[in-house]
Chain A
Amino acid sequence: MIFTEKRQGDFMSSVIETKDLNLWYGKHHALMDINMAVPKNQITALIGPSGCGKSTFLRTLNRMNDQIEGVRIEGEISLRGENIKNLDANVLRSRVGMVFQKANPFPMSIYDNIAYGPRILGVHKKKELDEIVETSLKQAAIWDECKDRLKTSALGMSGGQQQRLCIARALAVKPEVLLLDESTSALDPVSTSKIEDLLLELKKKYTIIMVTHNMQQAARIADRTAFFLLGELIEYDNTEKIFSHPADKRTEDYITGRFG
């Protein structure tokens, strides 16, 4: 505990910390000794070539890998100093929200999509739900586009709208951390830039960790960037530093497009 507090002092205040995190899929060693502290109210981008472990790392933070058979995890992940192994997976996931690569609204109305999480957590009063739905949609900057059709199916929205709906849905349970797994990779540039603006706004209230294949995106909006390669965390620093003076040759090769 003392140790954690000391570390928190080092990095402003970190929300998530991993210590010697290792993960195996069966025999495949997918994450090796990851030590990382994610600072509060910042956007942290995880970059690296396909299969480097960045998505695996992200999904370990809210224990989505628990679902997969044959996964073995060693090391420690703490959320505000609390080991996430000691939390119920569903409690953890309501504190660490996630938005996926492909927008995945449930086949229900827009309203019910947003109200789903709060209902799971036991909010059933219509007035409260109405309020949560409105604030969540406003936070995700999509309220104006859908306030008149809250009762229509979410599947009728465009791809970009669906993804912002998914962000709103994640916000509705009031998480502390928001994980985004390549959440703009399937979207057109206009929708992408809308979501980027949104994330810059959201970081005032939430801590955001995003996996991205798009290095310009990391450079544009991330405060800190982590470069993963073959399961290792090669370099983790301020975004500016990573993109202008990377300390590691491999980072430089990757961001200058020599491989990846």
Chain B
Amino acid sequence: MDGTVTLQKSRLKKQKSVENIFKTIFLIFGMFSIAFVIFISIFLIISGVPAITKIGFFKFMFGTKWASTAAKPSFGILPFILTSVYGTCGALLVSVPVGIFCAVYLAKMAPGPVAAAVREAVDLLAAIPSVVYGLFGMIIIVPSVRKLFNLPDGANLFSATVVLAIMVLPSIISESETALRAVPKEYEEGSLALGATYTETVFKVSLPAARSGVLTSVILGTGRAIGEAMAVMMVAGNVANMPGIFKSVRFLTTAVASEMSYSSGLQRQALFSIALVLFFFIIMINVVLRKLTSKGEVK
């Protein structure tokens, strides 16, 4: 008897030490992602703040003129901020209703095989690299916009917004669909049993019940739209204008990307500052997302 007890004890001890080793390994790997976030934050702050202090916060944020390579350079990024905001909002204006209706159709109405096929297409849409969206935009959307609205050039905010709307769609659809599917069947039965039609049930019970998931999908879409660089660079015309629907514009992301390769001095520092502003936007979006999801859990 004593033998088994000691055996068990030593086994337990061994198990414990193995357990501890694994815990440490997981901790180290877990730390990696946090470390990157911290490094990037520090890097952006260190490299982004000097230009802002040199140029002046208000002049930088609310200056309407960006002329980084002029003899008398001017570094106002309001055109980029507004372009990013308008482009994102415009994209959401289209993709939120379309995405939610599509999600409702997939989760609640489409017959099995059709839903599976559409879902497959949506997943594929999400997996397409953004440069491909850019190509599609250059070859199809830009010329169509030019012809449709009789413009000298079709590469403008409108085209970029259309491309963004398409790119944002998959995140809204799949996230909203998941939320809609998670709505307990009992809610829907309860509504049907009160004499509501199926459509009434979906829109008055299921969709409100899935509210927090649907909002999350919209926020995720916002994040994707505001952070997108490659595709919009290819279709937005890339001129640092104050935004107008048919003007060539530059987004926050494309402002950094298009000048980085040949920038120097204060210009280069200002580009880092733009990245810092963009980073701040993304953080704000994440904070909102966190607020919404935690609210959804508490009920």
Contact = CB atoms under 8 A, between A and B. Distances in A.
B193 A107 contact: no
Contact of A90 (B197, B204, B205): B197
A99 B137 CA distance: 54
B299 A93 contact: no
A185 B191 CA distance: 21
Given A67-B189, A100-B189, A116-B194, 19 more contacts: A64-B189, A67-B192, A90-B195, A90-B196, A90-B197, A93-B192, A94-B194, A94-B195, A97-B193, A97-B194, A104-B187, A106-B191, A106-B205, A107-B209, A108-B208, A116-B204, A120-B200, A121-B195, A173-B194
Interface string A101-137: 0101111100000001100110000000000000000
A67 B209 CA distance: 20
Interface of B: 184, 186-187, 189-197, 200, 204-205, 208-209, 299
Interface of A: 62, 64, 67, 90-94, 97-98, 100, 102, 104-108, 116-117, 120-121, 153, 155, 166, 169-170, 173
Given A67-B192, A93-B195, A173-B194, A107 B187 contact: yes
Contacts of A121: 195
Contacts, number: 66
Contacts of A104: 184, 186-187, 189-190
B195 A102 contact: no
Contacts of A98: 193
Nearest to B186: A104
A153 B299 contact: yes
A121 B187 CA distance: 18
Nearest to B209: A107
B190 A166 contact: yes
A233 B209 CA distance: 39
Nearest to A98: B193
Nearest to A169: B194
B107 to A, nearest CB: 15
A155 B184 CA distance: 13
Given A153-B299, A155-B299, A106 B192 contact: no
B193 A93 contact: yes
A160 to B, nearest CB: 17
A203 B287 CA distance: 54
Nearest to A108: B208
Given A120-B200, A155-B299, A106 B195 contact: no
Contacts of A153: 299
